[in-house]
Amino acid sequence: MGRALTREAILNVASVTRLGLVEWFGLGEPRIALCALNPHAGDAGRFGREDDELLRPVAAEAGIEGPFPADTVFVRAMRGAFDAVIAPYHDVGMTAIKVAAFGAAVNVTLGLPFPRCSPDHGTALDIAGAGVADPASMIESVLLCATIARRLAGRTTETK
């Protein structure tokens, strides 16, 4: 098990996610899922014990659901079962997002004192300057960031 995946790290990410969903997106009681680390959530230890020994107890402690296998948890989220999915690996989460909505998805970084939104694609250096890039995800990023900023500004004004 990697040293970066700890009880404290998972609790912190769950807390930051919950706070971000409440403050930035206006959700009252966010439904958060934890994606498993191993295929099939470890399959009772056949593919690893991290899901049973670390993730499951920490998810319960954090008040989030899971861990759920990556091959189903994102489908469940897209169907409305969860407001967010916490993925232990960047590529697991981003692959699901890109398959679901490439070119329209937005990556939001929670836990910062300001909204940070970015397009779902990478740097695309292979097509830089060719005039073929699709700006849709960048446009969505700017629009979402503006929506979050307005929500935060309204909340700040209301609390004064």
Q: Domain boundaries in the chain?
A: 1-100, 102-160
Q: Following CA atoms 112, 113, 119, 122 in sequence, which dihedral angle do they give, to the nearest 10 degrees? A: -40
Pairing between strand 32-35 and 116-119?
A: unpaired
Task: Give the whole-angstrom CA distance, residue 10 versus residue 159.
Answer: 31
Q: If pLDDT is split at 50, 70 and 90, which confidence band does 92 have?
A: confident
Give rounded-to-5 percent helix, strand, coil for the chain: 50, 15, 35
Residue 158 has pLDDT above 70, yes or no: no
Return the pLDDT at 111: 86
Mean pLDDT of 88-114: 85
37 touches 61 (CB < 8 A): no
Could you count the other beta carbons within 10 Å of the beta carbon of residue 109?
A: 12
Residue 160 has pLDDT above 60, yes or no: no
The string over 73-96, giving b where at least 16 C-beta atoms fall within 10 Å of a residue's C-beta and e elsewhere, is bbeebeeeebbbbbbbeeebbbeb
Task: Give the whole-angstrom CA distance, residue 99 versus residue 105.
Answer: 10
67 touches 48 (CB < 8 A): no
Residue 125 has pLDDT above 70, yes or no: yes
Task: Give the whole-angstrom CA distance, residue 160 versus residue 148.
Answer: 19
Q: Select the highest-mean-pLDDT range: 47-51, 61-65, 115-119, 156-160.
A: 61-65
> Looking at per-residue confidence, does 158 or 148 come out higher?
148
**What are 16-31's pLDDT values in tens digits?**
999 999 999 999 999 9
Average pLDDT of the chain is 89
Task: Give the whole-angstrom CA distance, residue 77 versus residue 79.
Answer: 5
Return the pLDDT at 84: 95
The amino acid occupying position 105 is A
Q: If pLDDT is split at 50, 70 and 90, which confidence band does 1 have?
A: very low
Mean pLDDT of 50-77: 95
